[in-house]
Amino acid sequence: MDIIKKYPKVFQWLFLLAVFFALCFAIDVPETYKFIRGQAEFVKDPNQSTFVFLGKEVRYYAFDVFWRLPPLLGWLPIWINDSLFFLMNEWMPMEFWNEDTQEFKTRPLLLQISRNLTAFMTFLIELIREILLGGLETIVAFTSWDFIDAYPWAELPGLPWTIVAAGFAILSYKLSGKGLAIFAGLTMVYISIFGQWKPSMQTLSFILVAAPLSFAFGLGLGIAAFKSKRVEKALYPILLVMQTMPQYAVLVPALVLFGVGDHAAVIITMVVAVPPMILLTLLGLRAIPPEVIEAGRMSGCTNWQLMFKVLIPTARRDILIGVNQVIMVCFSMAVISAFIGAKGLGFNLLLALNQLNIGLALEAGLCISLIAILLDKMSLAWANKQIDYFGNLTFYQRNKNLIFFGGAFIIGILLAYAGSFYFKEGFNYLFEVPHNKGISTADFWNKGVDWIFETFFVYIKAFNTWLIQDVLQPMRALYLRMPAVATLVLVVGAGYLIGGIRSALVVCALTLFIALSPWWDRALVTTYMATFGVIISCIIGFTVGTLCFQNKNSAKFMLGVCDIFQTFPSFVYLIPVMMLFGITDTSVLIAVIVYATIPATRYTIEGLRSVPAGLHDAATMSGVNKFQRLTKIEFPLAFPHMMLGLNQTIVFALFMVIIGAFIGTEDLGQYILKALSDKNGAGIGLTLGICVAFIGLIFDNLIRTYVGKRKKHLGID
């Protein structure tokens, strides 16, 4: 009894596990059970039961409720679909003036709104594309002016690539200095000579539209949330779900609402990019010392003056970090949006992957990665740039960069003009290197991949078979063997032990939603893949992090590597793994592990670093050796932060598992991918997305509650 009193928590956990395993063994697998590919699929099977709710018929395989809960929420996706359909096609028909046919036409209100919105977005995107790539259609379309037909010479030629490259270099120089300027210049030259100019500029134009809009909305909502507790409370759950929702899942409803193409992608990108902006705006505004606000008030600021002259400039850095986040999210969305027909680098990448042309995919992927690093570094440099005083500089000093750009502009045009004489036949390489006329190393890579395959085929295959047969299949079977009730008890029990009744209820609600959806089995598969990835990632991440921490330079280097890898859109990670392991679950898992190791490593190093120097000295003076210091001082104190890393690792792993569906897995992701090409997919896609988000949120809630308690216990912040 004394032992129980001494370690009450341990025994509570042991008891919970005992109950869980007892339930697992007590409840037998029903004889008729097979892996349910998705309950509410529209295949009719005489073995299925049905129920009707809100006028929707749901078909499902009935089991003992202890084994699998019936999909009582099965009507939800169907209902979402029908409501969307109704809203788009039948709700509030109104008369609208049609420019083309010059007559009034009856259209539902929402459809009209969505059409106007898409038209507006299309206009913005096209406008920027024409500046970068040439053409005059937008202005013509905007004014419905037949000028271009009458005067074909007036076509806008677009900027020569030399000018855009110079522009990037000069901007980078202004923001950061020589190093970044050289990097920017080289990146642009690389893009150009490898013939990726056009898709790159398409992607760039996408970002140039999506990022400013997301910034404006995010800033506005962030300010509103800062001013009013009520707005903040209303936004909070949405922000939470959006942070764990795979970006890929929100694409599906966008298809229904806005159709296929760049415009739909831009709108849905805003949905994803606005939440981090709101969070960082809020964070920045909250971090302002109260005395600065008081100083503003005592200077006699009105509310408006206080916000725009005191608060926002003071929170400048955090807000600009928000801009950095917005740009990175927009970029990764620009790549993923290829699934709903957005043009640009992502589209090329998708095409190449679909054709299994690894070489081409690698080139596109490299382009994407380079641009990602460039955009990240530039926006971070902007955020960290201190304002300087310009008053006593000369006109030349103040406008140095503008003058240089002007010079580059003229030289670029002259070069392009000269080029038009030199490159007589067909293409002017000084103006734009056409897509298929650049240098391509695709063949080389493809041959390389073939060589790897031929040489190592046996080993790779053996590894593959071993992993799948001896590790993955049994693990998967174990997860599927869990009766629903046992899982529920385990999760809710864990919630109760960690965070008390409140946590238990939250976790219970989240789990029930998934259990009552038609995709419990698939959610289990998603979780199993994520779990596998997370375990390996954590082992690698914690080890690498701890080792790198032993030396200041290596720690710094590793953090830099993490920074760079984190900027790559998740999709890019699929290229090398497909190259080496082909289309198997192994590929997905390896991509998951690589991607999820980033936060595990980063948070380990950051956590260990955050241990106060005073404690180090105190420990050293007590005569500890390196190992003792690590285990007795650094690990216990860094543990909460490392757990936050675990949280991030889980989210990253889930994202990657879902995207892995593109290679082919049997989990929730596969259904999201299917929903993309399904007319009735919107509801399914959205519900699936919420399911994935909820898996993430269950862990998020448990870990955060634990970390909060632990930090309080240790007296850290």
* DSSP string over 277-344: HHHHHHHHHHTS-HHHHHHHHHTT--HHHIIIIIIHHHTHHHHHHHHHHHHHHHHHHHHHGGGGT--S
458 binds other proteins (CB under 8 A): no
Q: 143 or 386: whose CB is closer to other proteins?
A: 386
174 or 522: CB nearest other proteins: 174
Question: Least distance in Å: CB of 400 to other proteins?
Answer: 19
Applying CB under 8 A, which of residues 46, 55, 152, 300 lies at the interface with other proteins?
300
The nearer residue to other proteins, 281 or 428, going by C-beta atoms, is 281
Cβ nearer to other proteins, comparing 313 with 560 = 313
Encoded tokens for 494 = 């864990």
CA–CA distance, 470 with 473 (Å, rounded to integer): 7
Residue 106 or 386 having the CB closest to other proteins: 386
Q: Which is nearer to other proteins, 98 or 299 (CB)?
A: 299
Site for other proteins in 686-705 (CB under 8 A): none
> Helices (H) and strands (E) in the chain — how many of each?
32, 4
CB of residue 295 to other proteins, shortest distance in Å: 4
Minimum CB–partner distance for residue 298 and other proteins (Å): 4
Q: State phi, psi for 625 to the nearest 5 degrees.
A: -90, 175
- The owner of tokens 């922000």 is 239
Tell me the closest approach of the beta carbon of residue 709 to other proteins, in angstroms.
24
Nearer to other proteins, 280 or 590 (CB): 280
Residue 612 CB coordination number (10 Å): 10
Residues binding other proteins: number (CB under 8 A): 22
Total Cβ atoms within 10 A of residue 134: 15
Nearest C-alpha neighbor of 571 from the set 346, 244, 250, 246: 346
The torsion of the CA quartet 270, 273, 278, 283, rounded to 10 degrees, works out to -170
CB 643 within 8 Å of CB 634: no
Residue 397 touches other proteins, criterion: CB under 8 A: no
* Eight-class DSSP state of 91: S
Choose the stretch contacting other proteins; rule: CB under 8 A; options: 13-21, 262-270, 385-393, 519-527. 385-393
341 conformational bin, left if phi > 0, alpha if psi -120 to 50, beta if neither: left
Query: From the CB of 391, what's the least distance to other proteins, in Å?
Result: 6
Q: How far is the CB of 292 from other proteins (least distance, A)?
A: 5
CA-to-CA distance for 276 and 565, rounded, in angstroms?
19
User: What pairs with residue 50 in β-bridges?
Assistant: 59
CB of 326 to other proteins, least distance (A): 21
Q: Is 242 in the site for other proteins (CB under 8 A)?
A: no
> Looking at beta carbons only, is 297 or 711 nearer to other proteins?
297
Q: Does 384 bind other proteins (CB under 8 A)?
A: no
Check binding of 440 to other proteins (CB under 8 A).
no
Cβ proximity to other proteins: between 102 and 392 the closer is 392
**400 in contact with other proteins (CB under 8 A):** no
CB of 281 to other proteins, least distance (A): 17
Pick out residues in 301-330 that bind other proteins (CB under 8 A).
301-302, 305, 309-310, 313-314, 316
List 104's β-bridge partners, or say none: 97
CA nearest to 108, candidates 316, 288, 257: 257
- Site membership for other proteins, residue 392 (CB under 8 A): yes
Mask for 276-295, x = binds other proteins (CB under 8 A)? -------------x-xx-xx
Tokens of 703: 């870990």
**Residue with smaller CB distance to other proteins, 316 or 632:** 316
DSSP for 624-676 reads --HHHIIIIIIHHHHHHHHHHHHHHHHHHHHHHHHHHTTT--SSHHHHHHHHH
Tokens of 325: 């986040």
In the complex with other proteins, the residue whose CB is nearer, 117 or 301, is 301
Q: In this chain, which of 115, 297, 609, 704 binds other proteins, going by CB under 8 A?
A: 297
Q: Which tokens go with 405?
A: 């750009």
> Of 391, 426, 623, 715, which one interacts with other proteins (CB under 8 A)?
391
Between 290 and 623, CB nearer to other proteins: 290
Q: Which of 3, 150, 387, 501 binds other proteins (CB under 8 A)?
A: 387
* Residues facing 94 on adjacent strands: 107
Tokens representing 535 are 């375990």
Which of positions 138-157 make contact with other proteins (CB under 8 A)? none
Shortest Cβ distance from residue 365 to other proteins (Å)? 40
Q: Does 102 bind other proteins (CB under 8 A)?
A: no
Amino acid at 169: A
Contact between 708 and 556 under an 8 Å Cβ cutoff? The reply is no
The angle at the Cα of 208, spanning 413 to 88, to the nearest 5 degrees, equals 135
Q: Residue 706: phi, psi to the nearest 5?
A: -60, -50
Side-chain half-sphere of 487: how many Cα atoms within 13 Å? Answer: 24
**What is the rounded distance in angstroms from the CA atom of residue 171 to the CA atom of residue 175?**
6
Nearer to other proteins, 133 or 285 (CB): 285
What mask of x and - would describe binding to other proteins in positions 332 to 371, judged by CB under 8 A?
----------------------------------------
Choose the stretch contacting other proteins; rule: CB under 8 A; options: 45-53, 296-304, 416-424, 587-595: 296-304
Choices 57-65, 382-390, 423-431, 620-628 (CB under 8 A): range interacting with other proteins: 382-390
Judged by CB, which is closer to other proteins: 114, or 314?
Answer: 314
Cβ proximity to other proteins: between 95 and 294 the closer is 294
Minimum CB–partner distance for residue 613 and other proteins (Å): 23
The least CB distance from residue 178 to other proteins, in Å, is 24
Q: Least distance from C-beta 286 to other proteins, angstroms? A: 16
Q: What is the CA radius of gyration of the chain?
A: 28
Task: For residue 490, report the phi and psi dihedrals to the nearest 5 degrees.
Answer: -60, -50
**Alpha helices (H) along 134-196:** 137-143, 147-150, 161-175, 178-193
Query: Pairing between strand 103-108 and 93-98?
Result: antiparallel
Strand partners, 49: 60
CB of 398 to other proteins, least distance (A): 14
Q: Which of 102, 106, 144, 386 binds other proteins (CB under 8 A)?
A: 386
For the CB of residue 389, give the shortest distance to other proteins in the complex, in Å: 5
Q: How far apart are CA 134 and CA 97, in angstroms?
A: 31
- Name the residue nearer to other proteins (CB basis): 383 or 564: 383
User: Would you say 101 or 302 has its CB closer to other proteins?
Assistant: 302
Residues 333/273, Cβ–Cβ less than 8 Å: yes
Q: Least CB distance from residue 261 to other proteins, whole Å?
A: 41
The C-alpha atoms of residue 270 and residue 84 are separated, in whole angstroms, by 20
Q: What's the min distance (Å) between Cβ of 303 and other proteins?
A: 9
Q: Which residues bind other proteins (CB under 8 A)?
A: 289, 291-292, 294-295, 297-302, 305, 309-310, 313-314, 316, 386-387, 389, 391-392
